[in-house]
Structure 1
Amino acid sequence: MALSSSSNYNGILYPSDRPLLTADNRGFRYGDGLFETLFVGPGGIRLSSYHFDRLVSGMRLLDLDVPPGFAEKIAGEVLTLCEANGSFASGAARVRLAVFRGESSFTGPVDRQPNYIIQSWPLAIAGDADETGLVLGLFPDGRKACDVLANLKSSNYLLYILAAQYARKQGLDECLVLNSRERLADATIASLFYVRDSVFYTPPLSEGVVDGVMRRYLLEALPGAGYTVVEQPVTVPDLMDADEVFLTNAIRGVIWVGAFQGRRFGRRLSAVVDEQLVKTL
Protein backbone atom coordinates (compact mmCIF):
# COMPACT_ATOMS: atom_id res chain seq x y z
CA MET A 1 0.00 0.00 0.00
CA ALA A 2 1.33 3.42 -0.96
CA LEU A 3 2.08 5.90 1.79
CA SER A 4 -0.44 8.62 2.48
CA SER A 5 1.10 12.04 1.83
CA SER A 6 0.77 13.09 5.49
CA SER A 7 0.30 11.40 8.84
CA ASN A 8 -1.13 12.91 12.01
CA TYR A 9 1.06 12.34 15.07
CA ASN A 10 -0.48 13.68 18.28
CA GLY A 11 -2.39 16.37 16.40
CA ILE A 12 0.41 17.57 14.10
CA LEU A 13 0.73 16.68 10.40
CA TYR A 14 4.05 15.27 9.24
CA PRO A 15 5.22 13.84 5.89
CA SER A 16 4.37 10.14 5.93
CA ASP A 17 7.94 9.10 5.25
CA ARG A 18 9.24 10.94 8.34
CA PRO A 19 10.13 8.64 11.29
CA LEU A 20 7.94 9.50 14.28
CA LEU A 21 8.76 6.96 17.01
CA THR A 22 11.94 6.19 18.94
CA ALA A 23 13.23 2.75 19.79
CA ASP A 24 12.04 3.28 23.38
CA ASN A 25 8.38 3.67 22.41
CA ARG A 26 6.29 1.09 24.27
CA GLY A 27 3.87 0.68 21.38
CA PHE A 28 6.83 -0.37 19.22
CA ARG A 29 8.63 -2.39 21.88
CA TYR A 30 5.76 -4.26 23.51
CA GLY A 31 2.64 -3.76 21.40
CA ASP A 32 1.34 -1.59 24.27
CA GLY A 33 -1.53 -0.05 22.36
CA LEU A 34 -4.65 -0.39 20.27
CA PHE A 35 -5.75 0.41 16.74
CA GLU A 36 -8.92 1.04 14.76
CA THR A 37 -9.44 0.65 11.02
CA LEU A 38 -12.09 3.11 9.88
CA PHE A 39 -14.33 3.46 6.83
CA VAL A 40 -14.63 7.22 6.34
CA GLY A 41 -16.73 9.23 3.93
CA PRO A 42 -16.89 13.03 3.49
CA GLY A 43 -19.70 13.06 6.07
CA GLY A 44 -17.83 11.21 8.76
CA ILE A 45 -16.77 7.83 10.14
CA ARG A 46 -19.10 4.89 9.51
CA LEU A 47 -20.22 3.34 12.81
CA SER A 48 -18.22 6.02 14.62
CA SER A 49 -19.84 5.45 18.02
CA TYR A 50 -19.00 1.73 17.89
CA HIS A 51 -15.36 2.43 17.02
CA PHE A 52 -14.82 4.99 19.76
CA ASP A 53 -16.71 2.98 22.35
CA ARG A 54 -14.37 0.04 21.68
CA LEU A 55 -11.31 2.30 21.62
CA VAL A 56 -12.12 4.12 24.86
CA SER A 57 -12.99 0.86 26.65
CA GLY A 58 -9.69 -0.60 25.51
CA MET A 59 -7.73 2.46 26.61
CA ARG A 60 -9.20 2.19 30.07
CA LEU A 61 -8.39 -1.51 30.23
CA LEU A 62 -4.78 -0.69 29.29
CA ASP A 63 -4.71 2.04 31.97
CA LEU A 64 -4.36 4.87 29.46
CA ASP A 65 -5.92 8.24 30.22
CA VAL A 66 -8.95 9.25 28.15
CA PRO A 67 -8.83 13.06 27.94
CA PRO A 68 -12.18 14.90 27.92
CA GLY A 69 -13.52 15.17 24.36
CA PHE A 70 -10.91 12.69 23.07
CA ALA A 71 -13.25 10.89 20.66
CA GLU A 72 -14.64 14.12 19.20
CA LYS A 73 -11.13 15.55 18.77
CA ILE A 74 -9.85 12.45 16.99
CA ALA A 75 -12.93 12.23 14.75
CA GLY A 76 -12.35 15.79 13.60
CA GLU A 77 -8.66 15.15 12.95
CA VAL A 78 -9.52 12.05 10.93
CA LEU A 79 -11.65 14.09 8.53
CA THR A 80 -9.05 16.87 8.33
CA LEU A 81 -6.32 14.36 7.42
CA CYS A 82 -8.47 12.64 4.79
CA GLU A 83 -9.18 15.98 3.13
CA ALA A 84 -5.52 17.04 3.30
CA ASN A 85 -4.43 13.76 1.70
CA GLY A 86 -7.15 13.73 -0.97
CA SER A 87 -8.28 10.41 0.45
CA PHE A 88 -11.86 10.85 -0.75
CA ALA A 89 -10.77 10.58 -4.39
CA SER A 90 -12.68 7.31 -4.77
CA GLY A 91 -15.59 8.50 -2.60
CA ALA A 92 -14.41 7.02 0.70
CA ALA A 93 -11.22 6.57 2.68
CA ARG A 94 -9.54 3.87 4.71
CA VAL A 95 -8.05 5.21 7.94
CA ARG A 96 -5.81 3.56 10.49
CA LEU A 97 -5.85 5.09 13.96
CA ALA A 98 -3.24 3.78 16.41
CA VAL A 99 -3.30 4.76 20.10
CA PHE A 100 -0.35 3.70 22.24
CA ARG A 101 1.74 4.40 25.29
CA GLY A 102 4.82 6.57 24.82
CA GLU A 103 8.34 6.23 26.16
CA SER A 104 8.69 4.63 29.58
CA SER A 105 10.62 1.66 30.89
CA PHE A 106 9.10 -1.76 31.40
CA THR A 107 9.61 -1.64 35.18
CA GLY A 108 9.43 2.11 35.83
CA PRO A 109 6.43 4.38 36.46
CA VAL A 110 3.63 3.85 33.93
CA ASP A 111 3.01 6.71 31.52
CA ARG A 112 -0.78 6.97 31.17
CA GLN A 113 -0.74 9.66 28.48
CA PRO A 114 -2.06 8.35 25.15
CA ASN A 115 -0.12 8.98 21.94
CA TYR A 116 -1.71 8.48 18.53
CA ILE A 117 -0.98 8.28 14.82
CA ILE A 118 -3.63 8.66 12.11
CA GLN A 119 -3.01 7.55 8.50
CA SER A 120 -5.41 7.75 5.55
CA TRP A 121 -5.67 6.39 2.01
CA PRO A 122 -8.31 6.42 -0.74
CA LEU A 123 -10.40 3.30 -0.31
CA ALA A 124 -9.63 1.03 -3.23
CA ILE A 125 -12.72 -0.29 -4.98
CA ALA A 126 -12.46 -4.08 -4.96
CA GLY A 127 -13.26 -6.16 -8.00
CA ASP A 128 -16.20 -8.53 -8.05
CA ALA A 129 -14.58 -11.20 -5.88
CA ASP A 130 -18.07 -12.16 -4.68
CA GLU A 131 -18.59 -14.20 -7.84
CA THR A 132 -16.72 -17.08 -6.20
CA GLY A 133 -16.35 -16.05 -2.56
CA LEU A 134 -13.32 -16.30 -0.32
CA VAL A 135 -11.47 -19.58 0.11
CA LEU A 136 -10.71 -20.09 3.81
CA GLY A 137 -8.26 -22.31 5.59
CA LEU A 138 -7.51 -23.11 9.23
CA PHE A 139 -4.32 -21.89 10.89
CA PRO A 140 -2.72 -24.97 12.52
CA ASP A 141 -0.30 -23.16 14.86
CA GLY A 142 -1.04 -20.91 17.82
CA ARG A 143 -4.29 -20.46 19.72
CA LYS A 144 -6.26 -17.39 20.81
CA ALA A 145 -6.66 -16.90 24.57
CA CYS A 146 -10.20 -16.64 25.93
CA ASP A 147 -9.84 -13.65 28.22
CA VAL A 148 -10.81 -9.98 28.29
CA LEU A 149 -7.62 -8.95 26.48
CA ALA A 150 -8.57 -11.17 23.54
CA ASN A 151 -11.49 -8.88 22.72
CA LEU A 152 -9.23 -5.87 22.18
CA LYS A 153 -8.17 -4.55 18.78
CA SER A 154 -4.65 -4.81 20.12
CA SER A 155 -1.35 -3.69 18.60
CA ASN A 156 -0.05 -7.11 19.66
CA TYR A 157 -1.19 -8.83 16.45
CA LEU A 158 1.37 -11.61 16.12
CA LEU A 159 -1.02 -14.58 16.00
CA TYR A 160 -3.07 -13.03 13.20
CA ILE A 161 0.06 -11.98 11.28
CA LEU A 162 1.32 -15.56 11.31
CA ALA A 163 -2.11 -16.84 10.25
CA ALA A 164 -2.19 -14.37 7.35
CA GLN A 165 1.29 -15.47 6.26
CA TYR A 166 0.16 -19.09 6.40
CA ALA A 167 -2.86 -18.26 4.23
CA ARG A 168 -0.67 -16.62 1.58
CA LYS A 169 1.74 -19.55 1.51
CA GLN A 170 -1.16 -21.97 1.10
CA GLY A 171 -2.79 -19.92 -1.67
CA LEU A 172 -5.81 -19.11 0.51
CA ASP A 173 -7.74 -15.84 0.72
CA GLU A 174 -8.07 -15.89 4.51
CA CYS A 175 -7.47 -18.08 7.53
CA LEU A 176 -9.53 -18.87 10.62
CA VAL A 177 -7.89 -18.99 14.04
CA LEU A 178 -8.72 -21.44 16.82
CA ASN A 179 -9.02 -20.47 20.47
CA SER A 180 -7.50 -22.28 23.45
CA ARG A 181 -10.61 -24.49 23.62
CA GLU A 182 -9.97 -25.75 20.06
CA ARG A 183 -13.02 -23.87 18.75
CA LEU A 184 -13.20 -21.24 16.03
CA ALA A 185 -12.55 -17.64 17.06
CA ASP A 186 -12.26 -15.36 14.04
CA ALA A 187 -10.26 -14.64 10.88
CA THR A 188 -7.09 -12.57 10.61
CA ILE A 189 -8.92 -9.30 9.87
CA ALA A 190 -12.60 -10.18 10.28
CA SER A 191 -15.30 -11.69 12.49
CA LEU A 192 -16.96 -15.01 11.66
CA PHE A 193 -20.65 -15.73 10.99
CA TYR A 194 -22.45 -18.69 9.53
CA VAL A 195 -26.06 -19.43 8.57
CA ARG A 196 -27.91 -22.70 9.03
CA ASP A 197 -31.65 -23.12 8.48
CA SER A 198 -31.99 -19.31 8.15
CA VAL A 199 -30.48 -18.70 11.62
CA PHE A 200 -27.30 -16.62 11.97
CA TYR A 201 -24.57 -17.83 14.33
CA THR A 202 -21.34 -16.22 15.59
CA PRO A 203 -18.93 -17.01 18.44
CA PRO A 204 -19.49 -14.94 21.64
CA LEU A 205 -16.83 -12.64 23.07
CA SER A 206 -16.14 -15.28 25.74
CA GLU A 207 -14.59 -17.41 22.96
CA GLY A 208 -11.69 -14.97 22.61
CA VAL A 209 -12.89 -13.13 19.51
CA VAL A 210 -12.03 -9.52 18.74
CA ASP A 211 -15.00 -7.29 19.56
CA GLY A 212 -15.57 -6.40 15.91
CA VAL A 213 -17.43 -3.21 15.08
CA MET A 214 -19.39 -4.65 12.15
CA ARG A 215 -20.03 -7.79 14.20
CA ARG A 216 -21.53 -5.71 17.01
CA TYR A 217 -23.62 -3.71 14.58
CA LEU A 218 -25.08 -6.83 12.96
CA LEU A 219 -25.84 -8.43 16.32
CA GLU A 220 -28.00 -5.39 17.07
CA ALA A 221 -29.43 -4.91 13.56
CA LEU A 222 -30.29 -8.47 12.51
CA PRO A 223 -33.12 -9.05 15.03
CA GLY A 224 -34.70 -5.73 14.06
CA ALA A 225 -34.68 -6.85 10.42
CA GLY A 226 -36.55 -10.04 11.32
CA TYR A 227 -33.61 -12.46 11.53
CA THR A 228 -32.63 -14.76 14.38
CA VAL A 229 -29.02 -14.45 15.50
CA VAL A 230 -27.36 -16.67 18.11
CA GLU A 231 -24.03 -16.20 19.87
CA GLN A 232 -22.63 -19.63 20.70
CA PRO A 233 -19.30 -21.50 20.48
CA VAL A 234 -18.47 -22.61 16.94
CA THR A 235 -16.54 -25.73 15.96
CA VAL A 236 -15.09 -26.81 12.63
CA PRO A 237 -17.91 -29.42 12.20
CA ASP A 238 -20.45 -26.62 12.78
CA LEU A 239 -18.96 -24.68 9.89
CA MET A 240 -18.84 -27.74 7.64
CA ASP A 241 -22.57 -28.19 8.26
CA ALA A 242 -23.45 -24.57 7.46
CA ASP A 243 -25.54 -23.34 4.55
CA GLU A 244 -23.64 -20.05 4.30
CA VAL A 245 -20.48 -18.61 5.83
CA PHE A 246 -19.38 -14.98 5.80
CA LEU A 247 -16.88 -12.66 7.45
CA THR A 248 -17.41 -9.08 8.57
CA ASN A 249 -15.19 -6.07 9.15
CA ALA A 250 -15.55 -2.30 9.25
CA ILE A 251 -14.14 -1.69 5.78
CA ARG A 252 -15.67 -4.43 3.62
CA GLY A 253 -18.87 -5.07 5.55
CA VAL A 254 -20.14 -8.57 4.72
CA ILE A 255 -17.64 -10.79 2.89
CA TRP A 256 -18.97 -14.02 1.40
CA VAL A 257 -17.00 -17.21 2.03
CA GLY A 258 -17.29 -19.57 -0.93
CA ALA A 259 -15.31 -22.50 0.48
CA PHE A 260 -13.68 -23.84 3.63
CA GLN A 261 -11.60 -27.03 3.64
CA GLY A 262 -13.22 -28.21 0.41
CA ARG A 263 -16.80 -27.48 1.52
CA ARG A 264 -18.69 -25.05 -0.75
CA PHE A 265 -21.25 -22.60 0.60
CA GLY A 266 -24.16 -20.72 -0.88
CA ARG A 267 -24.84 -17.01 -0.75
CA ARG A 268 -28.45 -16.03 -0.18
CA LEU A 269 -29.24 -14.48 3.20
CA SER A 270 -25.76 -13.02 3.60
CA ALA A 271 -26.19 -11.13 0.32
CA VAL A 272 -29.58 -9.81 1.44
CA VAL A 273 -28.16 -8.68 4.78
CA ASP A 274 -25.28 -6.95 3.01
CA GLU A 275 -27.70 -5.02 0.78
CA GLN A 276 -30.26 -4.25 3.49
CA LEU A 277 -28.13 -3.53 6.54
CA VAL A 278 -24.57 -2.70 5.48
CA LYS A 279 -24.58 -0.95 2.11
CA THR A 280 -27.30 1.38 3.39
CA LEU A 281 -25.09 2.68 6.24
Structure 2
Amino acid sequence: MFNFNGELLDDNTSFLNENNRGIHLGDAVFEELRVLNGDIIFLEDHYLRLMSSMRILRMEIPMYFTMEFMEQEILKSISENGLKEAKHIKFTVFRNSQNNFSISDHSISYLITGKTLTNPFFILNEGAYEVELFKDFYKNSSMLSNLDTNNKILNVVGAVYAQENDYQDCLLLNEKKQVIESLNGNLFVVKGNQIKTAPVSDGCVHGILRKKLIDLVSKLNDFDVLEESISPFELQKADELFLVNNIEGIVSVTKYRKKDFVNTTAKNLIGKLNAAARMSLS
Protein backbone atom coordinates (compact mmCIF):
# COMPACT_ATOMS: atom_id res chain seq x y z
CA MET A 1 0.00 0.00 0.00
CA PHE A 2 1.21 3.54 -0.75
CA ASN A 3 0.06 7.12 -0.26
CA PHE A 4 -0.61 9.41 -3.25
CA ASN A 5 -1.79 12.90 -2.29
CA GLY A 6 -3.33 11.58 0.91
CA GLU A 7 -5.16 8.65 -0.69
CA LEU A 8 -4.04 5.14 0.29
CA LEU A 9 -3.75 2.89 -2.76
CA ASP A 10 -2.97 -0.81 -3.16
CA ASP A 11 0.40 -1.81 -4.60
CA ASN A 12 0.55 -1.85 -8.43
CA THR A 13 -2.35 0.61 -8.73
CA SER A 14 -2.11 2.91 -11.79
CA PHE A 15 -2.05 6.50 -10.57
CA LEU A 16 0.29 8.61 -12.75
CA ASN A 17 -0.63 10.01 -16.15
CA GLU A 18 1.52 10.11 -19.29
CA ASN A 19 2.56 13.75 -18.66
CA ASN A 20 4.16 13.24 -15.25
CA ARG A 21 7.14 15.59 -14.96
CA GLY A 22 8.96 13.40 -12.46
CA ILE A 23 9.19 10.71 -15.13
CA HIS A 24 9.77 12.88 -18.22
CA LEU A 25 11.97 15.64 -16.80
CA GLY A 26 13.18 14.43 -13.41
CA ASP A 27 11.28 17.37 -11.89
CA ALA A 28 10.99 15.72 -8.48
CA VAL A 29 12.77 15.74 -5.15
CA PHE A 30 12.67 13.16 -2.37
CA GLU A 31 13.58 12.36 1.22
CA GLU A 32 14.39 8.89 2.54
CA LEU A 33 13.49 8.40 6.20
CA ARG A 34 13.44 5.70 8.87
CA VAL A 35 10.34 5.01 10.97
CA LEU A 36 10.63 3.04 14.19
CA ASN A 37 7.62 2.08 16.33
CA GLY A 38 5.58 4.85 14.78
CA ASP A 39 8.28 7.51 15.30
CA ILE A 40 10.26 9.14 12.48
CA ILE A 41 14.00 9.41 13.09
CA PHE A 42 15.41 12.92 12.48
CA LEU A 43 12.01 14.11 11.25
CA GLU A 44 12.71 17.83 11.67
CA ASP A 45 15.99 17.60 9.73
CA HIS A 46 14.31 15.74 6.88
CA TYR A 47 11.39 18.16 6.77
CA LEU A 48 13.63 21.23 6.68
CA ARG A 49 15.80 19.71 3.97
CA LEU A 50 12.73 18.88 1.88
CA MET A 51 11.42 22.44 2.25
CA SER A 52 14.82 23.84 1.28
CA SER A 53 15.01 21.54 -1.77
CA MET A 54 11.52 22.55 -2.91
CA ARG A 55 12.38 26.25 -2.58
CA ILE A 56 15.59 25.81 -4.56
CA LEU A 57 13.58 24.08 -7.32
CA ARG A 58 10.96 26.87 -7.11
CA MET A 59 8.12 24.50 -6.31
CA GLU A 60 4.96 25.86 -4.74
CA ILE A 61 4.79 24.82 -1.07
CA PRO A 62 1.17 24.56 0.12
CA MET A 63 0.27 26.27 3.41
CA TYR A 64 -0.81 22.94 4.87
CA PHE A 65 2.56 21.35 4.14
CA THR A 66 3.83 21.52 7.73
CA MET A 67 6.11 19.11 9.55
CA GLU A 68 3.06 17.75 11.37
CA PHE A 69 1.34 17.14 8.03
CA MET A 70 4.39 15.30 6.68
CA GLU A 71 4.53 13.14 9.80
CA GLN A 72 0.79 12.41 9.67
CA GLU A 73 0.88 11.40 6.00
CA ILE A 74 3.90 9.12 6.51
CA LEU A 75 2.31 7.33 9.46
CA LYS A 76 -0.98 7.06 7.56
CA SER A 77 0.90 5.22 4.85
CA ILE A 78 1.92 2.49 7.29
CA SER A 79 -0.68 -0.05 8.32
CA GLU A 80 -1.49 -0.47 12.02
CA ASN A 81 0.56 -3.67 12.09
CA GLY A 82 3.34 -1.97 10.16
CA LEU A 83 3.83 0.59 12.93
CA LYS A 84 5.56 -2.13 14.92
CA GLU A 85 8.12 -2.68 12.17
CA ALA A 86 11.10 -0.55 11.16
CA LYS A 87 10.32 1.12 7.83
CA HIS A 88 12.28 2.78 5.06
CA ILE A 89 10.05 5.58 3.75
CA LYS A 90 10.57 7.49 0.53
CA PHE A 91 8.68 10.80 0.36
CA THR A 92 8.70 12.13 -3.21
CA VAL A 93 7.37 15.52 -4.35
CA PHE A 94 6.87 16.49 -8.00
CA ARG A 95 5.37 19.41 -9.92
CA ASN A 96 1.93 19.09 -11.56
CA SER A 97 2.62 20.92 -14.86
CA GLN A 98 2.65 19.20 -18.24
CA ASN A 99 5.86 17.54 -19.45
CA ASN A 100 7.54 20.53 -21.10
CA PHE A 101 9.83 23.32 -19.98
CA SER A 102 7.08 25.94 -19.96
CA ILE A 103 5.67 25.64 -16.44
CA SER A 104 2.14 26.90 -16.02
CA ASP A 105 1.47 25.15 -12.71
CA HIS A 106 3.99 25.14 -9.87
CA SER A 107 1.68 23.21 -7.51
CA ILE A 108 2.88 19.84 -6.30
CA SER A 109 1.80 16.29 -5.68
CA TYR A 110 3.46 13.83 -3.31
CA LEU A 111 4.00 10.10 -3.22
CA ILE A 112 4.93 8.08 -0.12
CA THR A 113 6.22 4.52 -0.45
CA GLY A 114 7.67 2.23 2.20
CA LYS A 115 9.65 -0.97 2.73
CA THR A 116 10.30 -2.99 5.87
CA LEU A 117 13.82 -2.71 7.27
CA THR A 118 15.67 -5.71 8.70
CA ASN A 119 17.44 -3.60 11.32
CA PRO A 120 15.49 -0.98 13.30
CA PHE A 121 18.53 1.20 14.02
CA PHE A 122 21.61 2.06 12.01
CA ILE A 123 24.17 -0.71 11.65
CA LEU A 124 27.82 -0.97 10.68
CA ASN A 125 28.23 -2.96 7.47
CA GLU A 126 31.51 -4.85 7.94
CA GLY A 127 31.29 -7.10 4.90
CA ALA A 128 33.69 -6.96 1.95
CA TYR A 129 33.23 -3.56 0.32
CA GLU A 130 35.66 -2.68 -2.44
CA VAL A 131 35.37 0.64 -4.25
CA GLU A 132 36.90 2.33 -7.27
CA LEU A 133 36.76 5.79 -8.81
CA PHE A 134 34.07 6.28 -11.46
CA LYS A 135 35.66 8.50 -14.08
CA ASP A 136 33.33 8.13 -17.07
CA PHE A 137 31.24 11.11 -15.97
CA TYR A 138 31.60 13.87 -13.38
CA LYS A 139 29.12 15.50 -11.03
CA ASN A 140 29.01 19.31 -11.20
CA SER A 141 29.75 21.24 -8.03
CA SER A 142 26.51 23.22 -7.84
CA MET A 143 23.64 23.68 -5.42
CA LEU A 144 21.49 21.33 -7.50
CA SER A 145 24.01 18.55 -6.86
CA ASN A 146 23.34 18.85 -3.12
CA LEU A 147 19.71 17.77 -3.59
CA ASP A 148 18.20 14.29 -3.80
CA THR A 149 16.27 14.58 -7.07
CA ASN A 150 14.94 11.99 -9.52
CA ASN A 151 17.87 12.75 -11.83
CA LYS A 152 20.08 9.82 -10.72
CA ILE A 153 21.32 8.62 -14.10
CA LEU A 154 24.96 9.16 -13.05
CA ASN A 155 24.42 6.84 -10.08
CA VAL A 156 22.69 4.26 -12.28
CA VAL A 157 25.49 4.16 -14.87
CA GLY A 158 28.07 4.09 -12.08
CA ALA A 159 26.28 1.15 -10.45
CA VAL A 160 26.37 -0.75 -13.76
CA TYR A 161 30.12 -0.06 -14.02
CA ALA A 162 30.63 -1.31 -10.45
CA GLN A 163 28.64 -4.47 -11.16
CA GLU A 164 30.55 -5.16 -14.37
CA ASN A 165 33.89 -4.86 -12.56
CA ASP A 166 32.97 -6.66 -9.28
CA TYR A 167 33.07 -3.56 -7.08
CA GLN A 168 30.54 -2.99 -4.32
CA ASP A 169 30.45 0.76 -4.96
CA CYS A 170 32.13 3.59 -6.83
CA LEU A 171 33.39 6.99 -5.71
CA LEU A 172 32.18 10.01 -7.67
CA LEU A 173 34.31 12.97 -8.80
CA ASN A 174 33.30 16.54 -9.54
CA GLU A 175 34.45 18.51 -12.56
CA LYS A 176 37.60 19.51 -10.64
CA LYS A 177 38.38 15.80 -10.16
CA GLN A 178 37.85 15.99 -6.41
CA VAL A 179 36.29 12.99 -4.67
CA ILE A 180 32.90 14.01 -3.31
CA GLU A 181 30.85 10.91 -2.35
CA SER A 182 30.00 7.37 -3.37
CA LEU A 183 27.08 6.14 -5.44
CA ASN A 184 25.33 5.18 -2.20
CA GLY A 185 26.29 7.76 0.40
CA ASN A 186 28.55 10.48 1.74
CA LEU A 187 32.23 9.65 2.11
CA PHE A 188 34.40 10.14 5.22
CA VAL A 189 38.19 9.79 5.13
CA VAL A 190 40.10 9.05 8.34
CA LYS A 191 43.80 9.84 8.71
CA GLY A 192 45.23 9.87 12.23
CA ASN A 193 42.88 11.92 14.40
CA GLN A 194 41.36 13.77 11.44
CA ILE A 195 38.06 12.84 9.81
CA LYS A 196 37.45 14.59 6.52
CA THR A 197 34.40 14.82 4.29
CA ALA A 198 33.80 16.85 1.16
CA PRO A 199 32.11 20.26 1.60
CA VAL A 200 28.70 20.67 0.00
CA SER A 201 30.25 23.35 -2.23
CA ASP A 202 32.12 20.50 -3.99
CA GLY A 203 28.79 19.00 -5.11
CA CYS A 204 28.08 16.18 -2.66
CA VAL A 205 24.54 15.40 -1.50
CA HIS A 206 23.68 17.36 1.63
CA GLY A 207 22.79 14.16 3.50
CA ILE A 208 21.12 14.14 6.91
CA LEU A 209 23.47 11.48 8.29
CA ARG A 210 26.44 13.44 6.96
CA LYS A 211 25.21 16.43 8.97
CA LYS A 212 24.58 14.33 12.08
CA LEU A 213 27.98 12.67 11.92
CA ILE A 214 29.78 16.00 11.54
CA ASP A 215 27.91 17.29 14.61
CA LEU A 216 28.82 14.16 16.60
CA VAL A 217 32.51 14.14 15.68
CA SER A 218 32.87 17.87 16.36
CA LYS A 219 31.92 17.20 20.00
CA LEU A 220 34.55 14.47 20.48
CA ASN A 221 37.98 15.25 21.86
CA ASP A 222 39.57 12.34 19.99
CA PHE A 223 39.01 13.66 16.48
CA ASP A 224 39.05 16.80 14.37
CA VAL A 225 36.40 16.95 11.65
CA LEU A 226 37.18 18.81 8.44
CA GLU A 227 34.91 19.78 5.56
CA GLU A 228 37.55 20.06 2.86
CA SER A 229 38.08 18.93 -0.72
CA ILE A 230 39.36 15.36 -1.06
CA SER A 231 42.00 14.49 -3.63
CA PRO A 232 42.05 10.96 -5.11
CA PHE A 233 45.67 10.72 -3.94
CA GLU A 234 44.51 10.93 -0.31
CA LEU A 235 42.49 7.74 -0.50
CA GLN A 236 45.36 5.24 -0.46
CA LYS A 237 47.12 7.21 2.29
CA ALA A 238 44.07 7.09 4.56
CA ASP A 239 43.72 4.79 7.56
CA GLU A 240 40.03 4.28 7.02
CA LEU A 241 37.24 5.09 4.57
CA PHE A 242 33.56 4.81 5.39
CA LEU A 243 30.25 5.83 3.85
CA VAL A 244 27.00 6.94 5.46
CA ASN A 245 23.44 6.86 4.21
CA ASN A 246 20.08 6.94 5.91
CA ILE A 247 19.18 3.35 5.06
CA GLU A 248 22.30 1.30 5.81
CA GLY A 249 23.88 3.57 8.42
CA ILE A 250 27.68 3.30 8.19
CA VAL A 251 29.42 1.18 5.56
CA SER A 252 33.13 0.52 6.01
CA VAL A 253 35.20 0.45 2.82
CA THR A 254 37.46 -2.59 3.06
CA LYS A 255 39.53 -2.08 -0.09
CA TYR A 256 40.46 0.61 -2.61
CA ARG A 257 42.92 -0.53 -5.26
CA LYS A 258 45.81 -2.16 -3.37
CA LYS A 259 44.96 -0.68 0.03
CA ASP A 260 43.04 -2.57 2.71
CA PHE A 261 41.35 -0.53 5.43
CA VAL A 262 40.41 -0.98 9.08
CA ASN A 263 37.06 0.09 10.54
CA THR A 264 38.06 1.22 14.04
CA THR A 265 36.57 4.71 13.79
CA ALA A 266 33.35 3.51 12.19
CA LYS A 267 32.87 1.05 15.07
CA ASN A 268 33.40 3.91 17.51
CA LEU A 269 30.80 6.11 15.81
CA ILE A 270 27.91 3.74 15.08
CA GLY A 271 26.78 3.59 18.70
CA LYS A 272 26.92 7.37 19.02
CA LEU A 273 24.89 7.75 15.83
CA ASN A 274 22.20 5.44 17.16
CA ALA A 275 22.16 7.33 20.46
CA ALA A 276 21.49 10.55 18.52
CA ALA A 277 18.72 8.77 16.59
CA ARG A 278 17.08 7.66 19.84
CA MET A 279 17.29 11.19 21.24
CA SER A 280 15.48 12.53 18.16
CA LEU A 281 12.52 10.30 19.07
CA SER A 282 12.11 11.60 22.61
TM-score relative to the length of structure 2: 0.91
C-alpha distance 107-30 of structure 1, shift in aligned 2 (>3 A)? closer
Question: d(CA) in 1 for partners of 2:169 and 2:108?
Answer: 32
Give 1:108 shift: 3.2
User: Per-residue deviation at 1:214?
Assistant: 0.2
Residues 67 and 129 of structure 1, relative CA distance in 2, 3 Å threshold: closer
Residue 195 of structure 2 is aligned with which of 178, 196, 200? 200
Structure 2: stretches of 5+ with no match in the other structure: 278-282
In structure 2, how many angstroms separate the alpha carbons of the residues matched to 1:248 and 1:129?
10
Q: Does 1:98 align with 2:95?
A: no
* Counterpart-to-counterpart distance in 1, 2:13 and 2:236: 48
Does the residue aligned with 2:93 lie in a helix, a strand or coil? strand
Distance 1:188 1:156 in 2: 13
1:46 paired with 2:41, answer yes
> Structure 1 stretches of 5 or more lacking a match?
1-5
Letter in 2 for 1:251: I
Aligned partners of 1:147 and 1:131: how far apart in 2? 33
Selected match of 1:110 from 104, 107, 111: 104
Count of matched residue positions in the alignment of Structure 1 and Structure 2: 273
Contact 2:2 2:77 in 1 (8 A): yes
1:88–1:122 contact (8 Å) kept in structure 2: no
Is 1:76 the counterpart of 2:72? The answer is yes
Q: Residue 261 of structure 1 corresponds to which residue in structure 2?
A: 257
- For 2:21, the equivalent position in structure 1 comes to 26
Please name the residue that 2:168 is paired with: 173
Q: Deviations over 1:125-153 (max 9, x none)?
A: 49x98444421122121100011111011
Distance 1:222 1:32 in 2: 35
Cα 1:110–1:224, aligned 2, differ >3 Å: closer, same or farther? farther
Moved more, 57-66 or 105-114: 105-114
Q: Deviations over 1:202-224 (max 9, x none)?
A: 00001110101100111122112
1:270 Cα deviation (Å)?
Answer: 1.5
Aligned to 1:278, the other structure's residue is in SS state helix
What is the aligned partner in structure 2 of residue 243 from structure 1? 239
> What letter corresponds to residue 267 of structure 2 in structure 1?
A
Change (3 A) 1:189 1:47: same
Partner of 1:3: none
Matched, 1:273 2:278: no
Q: TM-score under structure 1 normalisation?
A: 0.91
SS state of the match for residue 140, structure 1?
Answer: strand
Letter in 1 for 2:111: I
Q: CA RMSD in A?
A: 1.9
Q: Specify which of 226, 233, 250 is matched with residue 230 of structure 1.
A: 226
Percent identity reads 29
Corresponding residue for 1:157?
Answer: 152
Of stretches 187-196 and 38-47 in structure 1, the one that deviates more from structure 2 is 38-47
8 Å Cα contact 1:176/1:184 also seen in 2: yes
In 2, Cα distance between equivalents of 1:110 and 1:151: 26
